[in-house]
């Protein structure tokens, strides 16, 4: 079993829909990252959180430490949100990030 | 700041050749990460430096791979000799301190070893 599991693997939505991507992990963590990788390949850090909730524009990230689960929500989705969203958790080692396999999101106009 | 800068963007080489990938960190960042991304395995940490010192190199596949930080702002990842299974996208990322801080990624180097 992978230490970081994302669901769904692939997601197709219509423009304007509310989107949720889930991340579950099995190890103790001190931080969780949500990354966005566009079709061109570049990776951008969206959020880094260790508790509660963070919001940036139409994006919201939540984490439940007890349940070892995080969600990334996108409100009023837009075709430019089409990308791969990657969850990564920081374990004990200062440098060690364990990555999920990613969720490929396609938003149709 | 221009962000994390990687070069080259694309590299095509023949098996057995030496490959050198380069990375310039964001000024003031103390941590440097080299990652490899493949379709099969996703993103994997190769090596992590903090203050120019390698802290975790457990992800370096084998002796053919080596990484250096000759100064606080620059790093190289060298593969010698290269093999077809090394074909992947190699990302460099930096942060203020460790993986508990926001990461800033370079645009990656697409490596193809024929």
Q: What is the pLDDT of residues A17-73, one digit of tens each?
A: 999 999 999 988 889 999 999 987 899 999 999 999 999 999 999 999 999 999 999
Give the HSE-up count for residue B84: Cα atoms under 13 Å, Cβ half-sphere.
1
Written as six digits, the tokens of A103 are: 């969720």
Q: Would the CB atoms of B56 and A101 count as touching at under 8 Å?
A: no
For residues B83 and B40, give the distance between their C-alpha atoms in angstroms, rounded to a whole number: 17
- The single-letter DSSP state of residue B25 is P
**What backbone torsions phi and psi does residue B51 show, to the nearest 5 degrees?**
50, 45
Q: Would the CB atoms of A94 and B100 count as touching at under 8 Å?
A: yes
Between these two residues, B109 and B97, which has the higher pLDDT value? Answer: B109
Q: Which of A66, A36, A34 is nearest to A51 (CA)?
A: A66
For the segment B9-33, the average pLDDT, to the nearest whole number, is: 95
pLDDT recorded at residue A28: 81
For residue A28, the chain B residues in CB contact (below 8 A) are none
- Give the closest of B44, B100, B108 to A30, CB-based: B100
For the segment A89-109, the average pLDDT, to the nearest whole number, is: 86
How many interface pairs between A and B have CB atoms less than 8 angstroms apart? 65
- The single-letter DSSP state of residue A7 is E
- Look at residue A93 and tell me whether its pLDDT is greater than 70: no
Classify each residue of A43-73 as buried b or exposed e, where b means 16 or more C-beta atoms within 10 Å of its C-beta: bebbbbeeeeeeeeeebbbbbeeeebebbbb
Q: Which of B108, B23, B109, B107 is nearest to B72 (CA)?
A: B23
Q: Would the CB atoms of B105 and A97 count as touching at under 8 Å?
A: no
Q: Would the CB atoms of B103 and A96 count as touching at under 8 Å?
A: no
For the segment A84-94, the average pLDDT, to the nearest whole number, is: 84
- pLDDT bin (cut points 50, 70, 90) of residue B79 is very high
pLDDT recorded at residue B1: 65
Burial classification of residue B87, based on how many CB atoms lie within 10 Å of its CB (0-12 exposed, 13-18 middle, 19 or more buried): middle
Q: Would the CB atoms of A31 and B99 count as touching at under 8 Å?
A: yes
For residue B75, the chain A residues in CB contact (below 8 A) are none
- H/E segment holding residue B77: strand B74-79
| Residues A45 and B104 sit within 8 Å (Cβ to Cβ) | yes
For residues B32 and B72, give the distance between their C-alpha atoms in angstroms, rounded to a whole number: 9
pLDDT recorded at residue B6: 97
- Look at residue A81 and tell me whether its pLDDT is greater than 90: yes
For the segment B72-76, the average pLDDT, to the nearest whole number, is: 95
Question: pLDDT (tens digit, 9 = 90+) per residue, B54-70?
Answer: 988 888 988 999 999 99
């Amino acid at each position: 079993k992978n230490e970081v599991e994302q669901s769904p693997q692939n997601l197709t939505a219509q423009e304007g829909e509310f989107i949720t991507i889930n991340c579950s992990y099995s190890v103790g963590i001190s931080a969780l990252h949500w990354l966005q990788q566009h079709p061109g390949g570049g990776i951008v850090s969206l959020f880094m959180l260790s508790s509660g909730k963070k919001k940036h524009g139409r994006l919201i990230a939540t984490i439940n430490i007890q349940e070892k689960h995080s969600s990334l929500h996108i409100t009023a989705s837009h075709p430019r949100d089409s990308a791969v969203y990657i969850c990564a958790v920081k374990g004990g080692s200062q440098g060690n990030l364990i990555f999920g396999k990613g969720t490929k999101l396609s938003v149709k106009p | 700041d221009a962000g994390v800068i990687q070069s080259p963007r694309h590299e095509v080489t023949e098996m057995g050749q030496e490959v050198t990938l380069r990375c310039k960190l964001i000024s003031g960042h103390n941590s440097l990460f080299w990652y490899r991304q493949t379709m099969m395995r996703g993103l994997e940490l190769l090596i992590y430096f903090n203050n120019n010192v390698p802290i975790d190199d457990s992800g370096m596949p084998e002796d053919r791979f080596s990484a250096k930080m000759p100064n606080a702002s620059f790093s190289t990842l060298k593969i010698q000799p290269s093999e077809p299974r090394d074909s992947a996208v190699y990302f460099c990322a930096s942060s203020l301190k460790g993986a508990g801080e926001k990461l800033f990624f370079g645009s990656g180097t697409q490596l193809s070893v024929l």
